[in-house]
Amino acid sequence: MHDPRDPRDLGDDAPAWADDPETGPEPEPPAPQSRWKVIVVDDEPAVHSVSRLALQRLTVDGVPLQLHFADSARAAREVLSEHRDAALLLLDVVMESDDAGLRLVDWLRREQHNAMLRIVLRTGQPGLAPEMEVMAGYDINDYLSKTEVTTQRLITSVIAGVRAYRDLRTITIQRRGLHKVIDATATLFDARSVEQLLTGILEQVSGLLLPRESSVFFVARRPLFEPTEATPTVIAASGRFSEALGRPVHEVLDTAVLRDVERSLSGPGLVERGHYSVYSFDLGGEARPVLYLDGGGALESWERQVVSLFCANAGMALRNHRLYAEREQWLRAFERFVPKSLVHLVDKTDLRRVDVGDHLARDMSILFLDIASFTARCEAMPPPAVFDLLNRLYAIVGPCLEQHGGIIDKYLGDGVMVLFPTGPQDAIEAALAVLAAIDRFNCDTPLADGPLMMGIGLHHGPVIVGMVGHARRMAPTVIADTVNTASRIQEYNRVLGTALLVSRAVVDGLEAARSPALRSLGPIALRGRTQPVELLEVLAAAPEPTRARRTASAGQFAAGLAALDRREFADAGARFTEVVDADPDDTVARHFLSCATTSA
């Protein structure tokens, strides 16, 4: 009876071959199977002959032995180095020296770090290697005295040793696979982590299906290599295929196996040969997970259940990963219109839970950017050219702002409104980065109407960040006098001919060591405001020669402002005249000179 609570019970979803040992095409003549490697080391040729005679037809769990011989410890090192996957070592103790065998064991365990190989000691002189001391001091499976050993005793020791190796290898493979599973769960839905997770599970599965420890898992559809479809690639692998992750399947498996993959995809899902098996699992879609197992014969019923369970769960894991990836793509597409960071400002981490009226009060720096004289420039350009110019410009400006922590709230035609939750320091450094990028743009891209000029205004203060609109159409926005003031500061660049103006609130939030050169312009009456705002010009936005001239005239400039404040217009006019004479390009000094002259 199907139990939906039991993850091992696939119910109606189980493939037909899961319990049917007769399913699949007739097997071809078997190719050479995997073999348990047994190494015999003894300096007596007769021992080699007897061992060969006793063991050459022996099988362990249906797998035959592959015998290798060495007549000394020195020769044994070469054989062991060549066959590091050997299962059992039948080792004489006394050969070149009384302890040659024990030295070989020490070399294996300590220098070669081979803890998997099982060892059976055989000696004709037990007194030179007492059994209790040897078994306690070395990782030895069995101890045989040549004078007492019989064929049956030898076979029993070999079977026990090979099975001990099998079990130890299974534990090691599963432990390694478990480590991969645990590592993958930290970032479960990354593409690489899904591969790592499935590879870890596959290694554990392969450890249960010995000697089939080499396997390949991928997803394919029929026809296997249809030109319009992506080439199937290895998603998980174990054993000798462990380095094949991400490679095209046709580069990993030979042509005969690929033909059987086609049969598996179009037939019952199971193809078993004498030396490999191919399984595919129908999950109801066009693509089917496919598992190739290398080595061994037909699987037993419980082994097929393990395979079908892996294929089903792996297929579902891949499907869930694909759904997660699609969701992330939709979210990234949505963020191109409404940045996630902007929504997070209203203290919402889940976009699905954002609603009209959600808001949060906080202090923030607001930046407004505008292209100077853009309307006049547009008159001489066709609309497509204007559109192209704006996008080229924003492709430069956007990254500069975002790299300094800016969140673009909205594009305003030829302008941008940007939020800086991190405060004035990032805001002013972003503004300077934008102006430097525009200078490079002007050098690299000469325009018929002259270089582009920017005006940037910055203010800092309390704002309300929230969602406005109605249930079917809402948008995040920032509302406060701080926003309006920042916009008016930006507009004042047109009056003064400046590139970057900031309020005193911005300057008060700067780090002293990172504050750029500034010039106070005094309290300014901005459009629409009843209270004046102290503005400062950021001299760092100007070229070095200009900064030097402005610094040299700073005293006269400040004296002129003080005279204006005292309404001593004649004195103010004289001061600003001196500044303009020294620096004819100082448009701010010209503005205040005009104010003094008009008011006199």
What value does the mean pLDDT take over residues 569-587?
A: 93
**Cα–Cα distance, 368 to 457 (Å, whole number):** 5
Question: In terms of C-beta density within 10 A (0-12 exposed, 13-18 middle, 19 or more buried), how is residue 182 classed?
Answer: exposed
Give dist(CA 417, CA 478) in Å, integer: 10
Per-residue 3-state assignment (H helix, E strand, C coil) for 197-241:
HHHHHHHHHHHHCCCCCEEEEEEECCCCCCCCCCCCECCEEEHHH
Three-class DSSP category at 66: strand
Return the number of other C-beta atoms located less than 10 Å from residue 490's C-beta.
24
Residue 6: band (very low, low, confident or very high) from pLDDT cuts 50, 70, 90: very low
Sheet order of strands, 270-272 included = 236-238, 214-220, 288-294, 276-280, 270-272
State how beta strands 288-294 and 407-411 pair: unpaired
Rounded Cα distance, 584 and 575, in Å: 14
HEC assignment per residue over 445-480: CCCCCCCCCEEEEEEEEEEEEEEEEECCEEEEEEEC
pLDDT in tens, 133-166: 655 667 788 888 877 778 898 999 999 999 999 8
**Measured CA distances, 81 to 77, 163, 200, 243, 323 (Å):** 6, 22, 28, 22, 48
Q: Tally Cβ neighbours within 10 Å of residue 165.
A: 23
210-214, 408-412, 484-488, range with greatest mean pLDDT: 484-488
Strand duo 288-294 + 533-538: pairing: unpaired
Question: Please, are residues 92 and 47 in contact by the beta-carbon 8 Å criterion?
Answer: yes
- Helical pair 554-565 and 544-552, crossing angle rounded to 10 deg: 50
CA-CA distances (angstroms) from residue 204 to 195, 201, 238? 14, 5, 9
Of all residues in the chain, the percent with pLDDT exceeding 70 is 77
Q: What is the pLDDT of residue 211?
A: 66
User: Backbone dihedral region of 360: left (phi > 0), alpha (psi from -120 to 50 degrees) or beta?
Assistant: beta
For residue 262, pLDDT beyond 90: no
Question: 297 near 304, Cβ under 8 Å?
Answer: no
For Cα atoms 312, 313, 319, give the angle at the middle one, nearest 5 degrees.
Answer: 95
Q: How many CB atoms lie within 10 A of CB 583?
A: 20
In terms of average pLDDT, the best of 18-22, 84-88, 136-140, 314-318 is: 84-88
Distance (Å, rounded) from C-alpha 352 to C-alpha 11? 36
Mean pLDDT of the chain, nearest integer: 80
Q: What values do phi and psi take at 97, rounded to 5?
A: -140, 170
Asked whether the beta carbons of 199 and 192 are under 8 A apart, the reply is: no
- Structure confidence by residue, pLDDT tens digits, 49-76: 999 999 988 998 888 999 999 999 999 9
Residues 6 or more apart from 330 whose CB is under 8 A from it? none
pTM score, two decimals? 0.52
Contact 39, 79 (CB under 8 A): yes
Least confident of 8-22, 266-280, 284-298, 486-500: 8-22
Q: What is the CA radius of gyration of the chain?
A: 40
Provide the sign of the torsion angle of the four alpha carbons 310, 315, 320, 326, taken in this order: positive
Task: Pinpoint the alpha helices (H) of 380-417.
Answer: 383-403
Q: Is the dihedral of CA 407, 410, 412, 414 positive or negative?
A: positive
Give bridge partners of residue 454 from the DSSP assignment.
371
Q: How far apart are CA 328 and CA 191, in angstroms?
A: 12
Task: Give the mean pLDDT of 355-374.
Answer: 82
pLDDT digits (tens, 9 = 90+) for 10-36: 444 455 445 544 444 433 333 334 689
SS3 370: strand
Please give the pLDDT value at position 306. Answer: 75
Q: Are strands 63-70 and 36-41 parallel, antiparallel or unpaired?
A: parallel
Which two three-digit tokens encode residue 114? 């081979």
> Which residues are CB-contacts of 1 (< 8 A; sequence separation ≥ 6)?
none
Q: Are 33 and 296 in contact (CB under 8 A)?
A: yes
Bridge partners of 89, per DSSP, are 39, 119
